[in-house]
Amino acid sequence: MMRILRTWEGNIEREIEKFKQQLSILDGLSTSRSTVLKIIQDVRKRGDKALVSYSKQFDKVSLSPDKFRVKESEIEDAYRRISLPFIKAIQRAITNIEAYQEHIKISKVGSLKANGVSLDTFYTPIDSVGIYVPGGSASYPSTVLMNAIPAQVAEVRKIVMTTPPAKDGAIPPERLVAAREAGVHEIYRVGGAQAIAALAFGTETVPKVDKIVGPGNVFVTIAKKEVFGYAGIDMLAGPSEVLIIADNLANPSFVASDLLSQAEHTPGISILVTFSESLVEKVIIELKQQLSKLKRSDDTKKYLAKYGVIFLTKNIDECIEIANTLAPEHLQIITENPRNIQTRIKHAGAIFLGPYTPVALGDYVAGPSHVLPTSGTARFSSGLSVNDFLKRTSVIAYSKSALKDTYQDVLEISEAEGLDAHSRSVQIRLNLLKEKTQSEPKGVHD
């Protein structure tokens, strides 16, 4: 069901490295790159006509350009097709997400002033953002919230959403309601790499945006990588993953349920790291029992077997070392003193402490965005937040005396770089200042 790797058997470092390669986003992208590049160039050249062709080819739906944008009447109908408890749950989740994003939003910083130099910094929102929400067997209203709400809190002027339709051209009502509640301005029924290309370059119908965010399949990920520079992107997202550090006191049913909740993604990666052999035995029993009760049991079992692994270690120190090496998207710590372990964690997208904090809370309602770095990229990146929708601009102001004081430093560096026009741009001002001072009557000062 899940592979078991014991750190005292064989070359565990090599096994971990092999597992890291299995998780890598980039290793799997090259084979599909030529296909995606063709799609991007075609959308860039033919616009809506290309979107019509690819919607028919990949989504098996015939749509004319005037059907791309979701109409207001469809959104109103979506509200009639879902339950009031669902709407209330979405609204409460939005309240939590807004509160957290407001809390971490970068605030205005004061001026840095000294000796005639003034340095200021201000932050402004990105003008327009495109959110990609995947389709498939799930509806993903949570993905809408976790991308749109941070953009809303940043005060992005225009938020556009693209998402693949069903074969009849419909969008799940949960997705539409989540988009309306989250403040999405426009929704387009376009999916795949062609949607990313449309957002990056614009078509006759789909507007061009400044930044594209949201997860997707391998074709969407490659497309985001290829359009970067024409538009900003959030990250290159791989399969969802959880790593659980658990001790001998952990409840095996809790641990098993958390492993399964990741394995039911398509695909999902589930990792348990523990020094307790008895916990491993109990967790395996629980996995078998709980699997039979799941709606997606066949796929979940398949991904658990393919991507699931249990690291059995000699002690808690090895558990922490493996966690830091793998830098997981989600890290759960189910131990006697989880905060003591958390202080030793260097790399993780999000950390969930204690037995009563399953990853599902972060996926849906806690507040931080569930758009997190995967495939070990938590070593150098962070989850999506309001601050990813803000741009920082520096404002620099020098007085005459400050310019004079710094001239020699500019001269030394510009000469070292062979760029004498740089130092001359300072010198010409100083010469003018000198001439002006010499021409003034005695007693007149700046």
**What is the dihedral angle through the alpha carbons of 321, 323, 327, 329, rounded to the nearest 10 degrees?**
-170
Using alpha carbons only, give the angle 174, 179, 183 rounded to the nearest 5 degrees: 150
Q: Does residue 330 carry a catalytic annotation?
A: yes
| Segment holding 395, helix H or strand E | strand 390-398
Give catalytic status of residue 329 as yes or no.
Answer: yes
Q: What share of the chain is helix, strand, coil (3-state, %, to 5)?
A: 50, 15, 35
| 330: its two tokens | 């989600």
Distance of CA 111 to the CA centre of its chain: 31
Which of 241, 318, 329, 370 does the annotation list as catalytic? 329
Tokens matching residue 208: 């061009």
SS3 at position 323: helix
- Return the beta strands (E) in 105-231 as ranges: 112-114, 117-125, 128-132, 158-162, 186-188, 211-213
Catalytic residue among 265, 330, 347, 370: 330
Note if the bond before 134 is cis, omega within 30 degrees. no
Element holding 310 (H helix, E strand): strand 309-312
CA distance 163 to 190: 5
- Pair of tokens at residue 426: 């300072």
Residues 6 or more apart from 154 whose CB is under 8 A from it? 105, 125, 126, 386, 387, 389, 390
Return the active site residues.
Answer: 329-330
